[in-house]
Chains A and B, each alone.
Chain A
Amino acid sequence: MSKKSFLFSIILIFITSFVSAKEYSPGVDKNYPKKLLWGDTHLHSNESADAYTIGNSNLTPSDAFRFARGEEVISENGVRAKLRVPLDFLLVSDHATFLGMFKRIEERDPKILKTPLGKRWRKYMDEDDPALFTEFVDGLNGNLDETFSKEDYEPIWKEITENVDKFNQPGVFTAFIGYEWTPAPTGDNLHRVVVFKDDAKLAQKIIPFSAIDSNKPEDLWNFLKDYNSSTGGEAISISHNSNISGGRMFPLENSYGEPIDSAYANMRNRWEPLVEATQVKGDSETHPAISPDDPFADYETWEGNIGRSQTKRLIRISTTGDCKDPLNYKCYKYKEKEKYRYKGSYVRSGLRRGLEIEKKIGSNPFKFGVIGSTDNHTALAASEEDNFFGKFLDSEPGPGRVESCMGGCGRPVTQADGEDIPSGDLWRNWQISASGYAGVWARENTREEIFDAFKRKETFATTGPRIAVRFFGGWEFSQDDVFDPNFVDLGYSKGVPMGSDLPLRGNKKSPTFLIMAAKDPNGANLERVQIVKGWTNKDGSSSEKVYDVDLSSDAGSNTVDIEAATYKNSIGEAQFISFWKDPDFNSKEQAFYYIRVIEIPTPRWTTYDSAVFGNKLPKFIPASHQERAYTSPIWYSPE
């Protein structure tokens, strides 16, 4: 060995030993997402056409941000409103269709009144012409030929986005720019919220893509792709209310009737990483028709589609007793030949369908994470049961809101679609759900960090309570890990967090999981932690099973005092830290796993209303319920 080579070897050994040594400082290389941030990515203000016309003509996006960051505001119906604990981020997602137009027509904005549609609608307003409402709904559904031009929207979008920037305070409160894309072909909800990572300057390079531009999700994703490639900015979509999509949210075919292929799967996964699993118009986790063995499946379920049209698909299971009210959704179900629609309408069945397609074509089009949000049209992101400000003005707190209907009771009844079920009134307001919020594990409270968490699906949904959940999957976790105070470091170093694929299996027999669930510090204790597993079978079908991972010793008890609308934390647990190993694992089949955390029973918002406003509740409204959290899944694919 030459002198030169010898010296080189010494230096190399020195460098190698230095690099491979364990770091002295424990924080080094552990830049994991450690902050749990709470937010709402789906809220409407008076810039939304429907919010404005149905009553919220006063509360602006600014009011929405102020309320979310903890300030007191006055609701449209004059009630003082404040969150117990502020949120960390908010997206005011007003409808792209007619964004800000009604407000400006009402205020006689000369630029808008110069447009043919603005002029016509002003005339309808002056003459109380109901054609206004008809045309507006047609527009929302993408059925109105005429519309406003991009030039008409430009100053509005500029004003809205610049206002959002004013409320964005990196490290303290994140205000996202975004909007809602709102198509509902044949009354089936295909709505998506669009979230921008960027500031106003970049977002202003486009005008929101609306349902009038196209009602096909593929076109929306292409629009997001074009925005990315032409500006360098980034935006994603989040679907919502799959429960009232008539089976079209997680379809077997694309919008052109062709079977789903890898190109569709790649596109959908890239531009739509998240699904809003729970919100004011019901819960989309699962349905008893899909999950008959799951006793917790029937939570805030709705039947039919968003427009209450296509009622010919449904049968009314009874017209007596609790079902006398034609607006009681619990009294309908899909007819036998329409039952296939359930599978395309729920998160769990969507995830299962994704596995089935992956087994068939090699790509999973429904590899999404979950969040919860409100979809309130009151500018108030309130989803606590005893601090609930409803969906529209008619469901804001006050006596009688339980019996009222969305947009007013007594709309003309249409029999066009139904056989014997009237459509017209949309829903009775007792049916709306005080739900939900998005939990996000992020490094910092900034647009960039939260947006990245959305993309990697390190998110979970709750129906309102701020239940904290950690979920890690891997092949080497053990029971001892749950006692390690560095649980989170362990989770990331030995496995992957929620929203990920399991690492390579090697010769390991069964996947292992670490779970931490903690109660809302200002809310109810927890009753149980469950793992929901879905997997494919040899014949290409799929199955599901719910495992109780941890259970409080008094699970099944109920302390709710209905008259006083109270509960006691004398039952349940404050926190569960659990280890679970899949006892039924088959390495040859695709699988997903997600966590569901269930609270002890607490009063539903209608029960609190009853105690506060003295309403007498019909028996069919549940007096108590068990709120919950759902995490994004962890997936396994055979190697």
Chain B
Amino acid sequence: MTKRFYTILGVFLGILIVLFGLLNKKDLDVNTIVINDNILNNFYLANRNLEDPAFIQYNDLSDIQIALVRDDYIKREVLKREALNWGLDKVDPIISSRLAQLGEQFLVNNLPNEELSEVSLNSFYNENKHFYIDDAKVTFSHIFFRNSDEKIINDLTSYVRTQNEEFFNNNLLNKISVFPYQKNYAQRSESFIRGHFGEKTTKEIFALEISSKWQGPVQSPYGFHIIKLTSVTEAKQKSFDEVSDLVLKRFISERRKANLKLELEKKISSYQIIDD
């Protein structure tokens, strides 16, 4: 009975001590500065020039020198804690930004390692094939006419229908105008043509037939064009083998971002957000 009583009392007192410790942990942390050789050594190393020929290892310091390091450390800790106590960390945007940056870096560093397999890379490539396409290319010449003459579209349509050189020389030759860019385009990508003719006209040019005859008229933002289209090379899908390096890089980067987002969302969900 007595033995049981003392056992229960002992456990109870133990719980009380632990509870007391836990409840007063914050105060203990704030007001206590723990010093040992390891802490002082780290502080000393972080604040000395290791490249300095006169540098002395912590273990070789005299007692007086160690006492000075100790004083420095205490001073730094007290100032840091007082600053925290006064809430100065909350008013300094650089500290806030830096903490957020460190937090993100910490999350990134602790993300699980991705398992890389041929299968997962292949499947990623298949899902993102659109990144690995060689643009369609086109080769053509064009003659440009400004939109200044109401008759021009009829004359151009007649010429394209008949391909009559005499008609061209008599009615159109003196109406040819200055196109701001080039007269001939050889093996140029769709995006390049878009930069000279605009989106709509580019689509129309790529839809023309390969022919030795003049086609059109095609309207651009500047006026009308008749076009002789020599070739169109269709867009080409690059194979996995051709782009495996790029696929790997994108795969790692995308997964890292996705994992980071998930981790961050998890963290955010553990906070209560109050719109004040």
Which residue of the partner chain, among A116, A133, A518, contacts B51 with CB atoms under 8 Å? A116
> Residue-by-residue, is B114-152 near A (CB-CB < 8 Å gives 1, otherwise 0)?
000000000000000001000000000000001100000
Chain A nearest CB, measured from B109 CB (Å)? 11
Binds B, one of A70-78, A185-193, A201-209, A619-627: A70-78
Which residue of the partner chain, among A36, A78, A85, A470, contacts B257 with CB atoms under 8 Å? A78
User: Within 8 Å of chain B (Cβ to Cβ): is A114?
Assistant: yes
With a cutoff of 8 Å between Cβ atoms, the chain B residues found around residue A485 in the complex are: 176-178
Chain B nearest CB, measured from A156 CB (Å)? 20
CA distance A35 to B146 in the complex (A): 21
With a cutoff of 8 Å between Cβ atoms, the chain A residues found around residue B147 in the complex are: 574
CA distance A34 to B196 in the complex (A): 13
Contact B131 A71 (CB under 8 A): yes
User: Within 8 Å of chain B (Cβ to Cβ): is A86?
Assistant: yes
Chain B nearest CB, measured from A637 CB (Å)? 30
Chain B nearest CB, measured from A244 CB (Å)? 23
> Residue-by-residue, is B213-242 near A (CB-CB < 8 Å gives 1, otherwise 0)?
000000011110000000000000000000
User: Within 8 Å of chain A (Cβ to Cβ): is B195?
Assistant: yes
With a cutoff of 8 Å between Cβ atoms, the chain B residues found around residue A35 in the complex are: 182
With a cutoff of 8 Å between Cβ atoms, the chain A residues found around residue B223 in the complex are: 574-575
Which residues of chain B in 86-117 are interfacial with respect to chain A, using CB atoms and an 8 Å cutoff? 92-95, 97-99, 101-102, 105
Residue in chain A with minimal CB distance to B95: A128
> Residue-by-residue, is A513-534 near B (CB-CB < 8 Å gives 1, otherwise 0)?
0001011011000000000000
Residue in chain B with minimal CB distance to A467: B180
CA distance A468 to B221 in the complex (A): 13
Contact A521 B195 (CB under 8 A): yes
User: Within 8 Å of chain A (Cβ to Cβ): is B49?
Assistant: yes
CA distance A119 to B55 in the complex (A): 15
Chain B nearest CB, measured from A311 CB (Å)? 20
Contact A36 B180 (CB under 8 A): yes
> Residue-by-residue, is B151-194 near A (CB-CB < 8 Å gives 1, otherwise 0)?
00000000000000000000000001110111000000001101
Which residue of the partner chain, among A57, A84, A516, contacts B180 with CB atoms under 8 Å? A516
CA distance A114 to B222 in the complex (A): 61
CA distance A38 to B195 in the complex (A): 10
Contact B99 A128 (CB under 8 A): yes
Binds A, one of B10-18, B58-66, B197-205: B197-205
Contact flag A521-B221 (CB < 8 Å), given A70-B191, A130-B95: yes
Contact A72 B180 (CB under 8 A): no
Q: Which of A116, A125, A488, A522 has the most CB of B within 10 A?
A: A522
Residue in chain B with minimal CB distance to A409: B93
With a cutoff of 8 Å between Cβ atoms, the chain B residues found around residue A84 in the complex are: 194
CA distance A519 to B196 in the complex (A): 10
Contact B176 A130 (CB under 8 A): no
Chain A nearest CB, measured from B6 CB (Å)? 50
Contact B194 A133 (CB under 8 A): no
Chain A nearest CB, measured from B99 CB (Å)? 7
User: Within 8 Å of chain B (Cβ to Cβ): is A410?
Assistant: yes
CA distance A313 to B74 in the complex (A): 45
Contact flag A518-B180 (CB < 8 Å), given A119-B49, A574-B147, A574-B223: yes
User: Within 8 Å of chain A (Cβ to Cβ): is B46?
Assistant: yes
Chain B nearest CB, measured from A366 CB (Å)? 30
CA distance A26 to B14 in the complex (A): 103
Which residue of the partner chain, among B49, B176, B177, contacts A116 with CB atoms under 8 Å? B49
Residue in chain A with minimal CB distance to B50: A119
Which residue of the partner chain, among A123, A470, A484, A521, contacts B196 with CB atoms under 8 Å? A521
Contact flag A522-B191 (CB < 8 Å), given A485-B178, A574-B222, A575-B146: no
Chain A nearest CB, measured from B84 CB (Å)? 11
Contact B177 A86 (CB under 8 A): no
Residue in chain B with minimal CB distance to A410: B93
With a cutoff of 8 Å between Cβ atoms, the chain B residues found around residue A78 in the complex are: 257, 261
User: Within 8 Å of chain B (Cβ to Cβ): is A335?
Assistant: no
User: Within 8 Å of chain B (Cβ to Cβ): is A546?
Assistant: no
Q: Which of A70, A412, A575 has the most CB of B within 10 A?
A: A575
With a cutoff of 8 Å between Cβ atoms, the chain A residues found around residue B97 in the complex are: 408
Chain A nearest CB, measured from B45 CB (Å)? 10
User: Within 8 Å of chain B (Cβ to Cβ): is A260?
Assistant: no
Contact A408 B46 (CB under 8 A): no
User: Within 8 Å of chain B (Cβ to Cβ): is A617?
Assistant: no
Contact B177 A518 (CB under 8 A): no
User: Within 8 Å of chain B (Cβ to Cβ): is A264?
Assistant: no
Contact flag A408-B199 (CB < 8 Å), given A488-B178, A575-B146: no
Chain A nearest CB, measured from B188 CB (Å)? 10
> Residue-by-residue, is A129-166 near B (CB-CB < 8 Å gives 1, otherwise 0)?
01001000000000000000000000000000000000
CA distance A575 to B147 in the complex (A): 10
CA distance A116 to B177 in the complex (A): 66
CA distance A38 to B199 in the complex (A): 18
With a cutoff of 8 Å between Cβ atoms, the chain B residues found around residue A470 in the complex are: 180
CA distance A466 to B198 in the complex (A): 11
Chain B nearest CB, measured from A631 CB (Å)? 14
Residue in chain A with minimal CB distance to B183: A34
Residue in chain A with minimal CB distance to B196: A521
CA distance A56 to B102 in the complex (A): 14
Chain B nearest CB, measured from A572 CB (Å)? 11
Contact B178 A487 (CB under 8 A): yes
Residue in chain B with minimal CB distance to A71: B131
User: Within 8 Å of chain B (Cβ to Cβ): is A577?
Assistant: yes
Chain B nearest CB, measured from A65 CB (Å)? 13
With a cutoff of 8 Å between Cβ atoms, the chain A residues found around residue B192 in the complex are: 85-86
CA distance A19 to B177 in the complex (A): 32
CA distance A133 to B101 in the complex (A): 14
With a cutoff of 8 Å between Cβ atoms, the chain B residues found around residue A574 in the complex are: 147, 221-223
CA distance A240 to B46 in the complex (A): 40
Which residues of chain A in 395-436 are interfacial with respect to chain B, using CB atoms and an 8 Å cutoff? 408-412
With a cutoff of 8 Å between Cβ atoms, the chain B residues found around residue A116 in the complex are: 49, 51
CA distance A333 to B192 in the complex (A): 44
Contact flag A577-B199 (CB < 8 Å), given A72-B131, A128-B98, A521-B221: no
> Residue-by-residue, is A224-250 near B (CB-CB < 8 Å gives 1, otherwise 0)?
000000000000000000000000000
With a cutoff of 8 Å between Cβ atoms, the chain A residues found around residue B191 in the complex are: 70, 85-86
Which residue of the partner chain, among A34, A74, A412, contacts B182 with CB atoms under 8 Å? A34
Chain A nearest CB, measured from B254 CB (Å)? 8
Chain A nearest CB, measured from B143 CB (Å)? 9
Which residue of the partner chain, among B95, B102, B220, contacts A521 with CB atoms under 8 Å? B220
With a cutoff of 8 Å between Cβ atoms, the chain A residues found around residue B198 in the complex are: 521-522
Contact B146 A130 (CB under 8 A): no
Residue in chain A with minimal CB distance to B89: A128
Contact flag A466-B195 (CB < 8 Å), given A34-B182, A485-B177: yes
Contact B95 A522 (CB under 8 A): no
CA distance A57 to B176 in the complex (A): 53
Which residues of chain A in 78-123 are interfacial with respect to chain B, using CB atoms and an 8 Å cutoff? 78, 84-86, 106, 114, 116, 119, 123
Contact B46 A123 (CB under 8 A): yes
With a cutoff of 8 Å between Cβ atoms, the chain A residues found around residue B47 in the complex are: 123
Residue in chain B with minimal CB distance to A525: B221
With a cutoff of 8 Å between Cβ atoms, the chain B residues found around residue A71 in the complex are: 131
Contact flag A519-B181 (CB < 8 Å), given A70-B191, A71-B131, A466-B195: no
CA distance A85 to B51 in the complex (A): 52
CA distance A521 to B222 in the complex (A): 8
With a cutoff of 8 Å between Cβ atoms, the chain A residues found around residue B220 in the complex are: 521
Residue in chain B with minimal CB distance to A114: B51
21 contacts between A and B (CB under 8 A): A35-B182, A72-B131, A74-B253, A78-B257, A85-B191, A85-B192, A116-B51, A119-B50, A123-B47, A408-B97, A412-B92, A483-B177, A518-B222, A521-B195, A521-B198, A521-B220, A521-B222, A522-B198, A574-B223, A575-B223, A577-B177
Closest 4 CB pairs of A and B: A518-B180, A521-B198, A85-B195, A468-B180
Given pairs A519-B221, A522-B198, 14 additional interface contacts (CB within 8 A): A34-B182, A74-B253, A78-B257, A78-B261, A86-B192, A106-B105, A130-B92, A468-B181, A516-B180, A518-B180, A521-B197, A522-B194, A574-B147, A575-B223
